[in-house]
Amino acid sequence: MKSFDAIVIGAGQAGPFLAARMVEKGMKVALIERKFLGGTCVNAGCMPTKTLVASARAAHVARNSAVYGVNIGGEIAIDMKVVRARAETVTLNARNGLIGWFAGMDGMTVISGHARFEDPKTVSVNGETLTAPRIFLNVGARPVIPDLPGINDIDYLTSTSIIHLDRLPRHLAVIGGSYIGLEFAQMYRRFGAEVSVIEHGPKLASREDEDISDAIADVLRSEGIDIHTGASDIAFARSRDGITVATDSARIDASHVLIATGRKPNTDDLGLDAAGVITDKHGYITVDDRLATNVDGIWALGDCNGHGAFTHTSYNDFEIAAANLLDGDDRKVSSRILAYALYIDPPLGRVGITEKQARASGRKIMISTRPMSRVGRANERGETKGFMKVIADAETKKILGAAILGIEGDEVIHGIIDAMNAGTTYPALQWSVPIHPTVSELIPTLLGDLKPV
């Protein structure tokens, strides 16, 4: 049996950085990863997909260049082999960077293999047994495949496999109208495929307020994406030319099908029962406000604990654990103000609670909205789709949440994120002097228009 000061299972966006911090403190650490260093973000999520989004945007801009007085002769051609290779290069560079970083650390042992608990302090991997007083789980999540009629009879894609396509689908049917599905839908439409989005619920991006969801749908429809919401009785069958996707109200002749109906944690094959670690009904590991499980000496970080499914929340889990365990601090998950983005174009930047949640809270609230068509920078760039929205507490004058669906919305939202984390009241922000011409310069104006509801 090999002994360590700590064992980290999973090399996503929390575990490796925590392992590195512990090594800096002179600890002996084992980092176990069954597949690739970097987790979903590096290998199948943020980095490759946003690289693909960038290629798709380049195609979109080139296709519409005449609007800007730039004439490109002939049709815009997409070389999917080059597109794929570019995304793979970005992934490999990041992954190899991690490999090189860890190789230079004394005290770090990186093990490639599938770890399983033998008891609360012991795990087995590759026929060896390892023990440590502290074990951290950062095992991530994977796509959910729903039990739909005919699904096992077709060759479907997931968010993991679609990034390896090196040819353009004739017609991509996206099952699921949430964040992952919508990004791929617009991306492949811009590459030149016909695209249909099929969503069981009544609207796209169901987490968002109805006005945001409607605006997202308008953006996608304007680019020729076919959207079917409220779809039931979804079923699949092989056809002569590909795959038939049938619903209660539509029949789609697709060449490829992407299943984007959510994700589930990679916790079902870790031997958690042997350690006594409790999970909820969905498989997420139950943790307290400091990310500790019900078993002393075991923590769960990142997607597998159900407290945020983003790279930045996973990294923040690392920060919380490191601060509490290594720096004598007392940081809590409940102190985190959730923020995220939807990377369609234009992007959606979101922070805090929605208008629906604010109204349901019983607070006295104020709301302000402003269309992107009234933003100078958006007009100058010819990108005026979307709008800004902010919600504030009428009594405390603090911002409760905001949504910016529009050009650079994923960047502009950070001004509000910072203000909310600092506890700044909205009247104080009205006195800032922003740079012109920017999208951010409209934030003081947006706040100045707050009205009670």
pLDDT per residue over 78-110, tens digit each?
999 999 999 999 999 999 999 999 999 999 999
Residue 262 neighbours by CB under 8 Å, 6+ apart: 143, 144, 176, 178
Report the pLDDT averaged over residues 215-244. Answer: 97
pLDDT per residue over 123-141, tens digit each?
999 999 999 999 999 999 9
Pick the CATH number of 2-141+264-335 from 3.40.50.2300, 1.20.140.10, 3.40.50.300, 3.50.50.60: 3.50.50.60
The answer to whether 159 and 143 are in contact (CB under 8 A) is: yes
Closest among 208, 194, 206 to 254, alpha carbons compared: 194
Q: Can you list the alpha helix ranges (DSSP code H) found in 209-248?
A: 210-222
The answer to whether 396 and 425 are in contact (CB under 8 A) is: yes
The answer to whether 254 and 266 are in contact (CB under 8 A) is: no
Q: Is 90 exceeded by the pLDDT of residue 73?
A: no
Q: How far apart are CA 435 and CA 441, in angstroms?
A: 6
With tokens 């234009």, the residue in question is 346
Report the pLDDT averaged over residues 212-237. Answer: 98
pLDDT per residue over 177-210, tens digit each?
999 999 999 999 999 999 999 999 999 999 999 9
Q: How far is CA 392 from CA 211, 282, 321, 367, 396, in A?
A: 18, 34, 31, 6, 8
Domain spans in the chain, listed from the N-terminal domain onward: 2-141+264-335, 151-261, 339-452
The answer to whether 190 and 56 are in contact (CB under 8 A) is: yes
pLDDT per residue over 17-30, tens digit each?
999 999 999 999 99
Burial (0-12, 13-18, 19+ Cβ within 10 Å), 26: exposed
Pick the CATH number of 339-452 from 3.40.50.300, 3.30.390.30, 3.30.460.10, 3.90.1300.10: 3.30.390.30
- Six token digits for residue 143: 């796509």
Q: What is the pTM of this model?
A: 0.96
User: Which residue numbers are catalytic?
Assistant: 436
Same fold, 2-141+264-335 and 339-452: no
CATH tag, 151-261: 3.50.50.60
Closest among 88, 103, 94 to 39, alpha carbons compared: 94
Q: How far apart are CA 234 and CA 190, in angstroms?
A: 26
Assign 309 a pLDDT band (cuts: 50, 70, 90).
confident
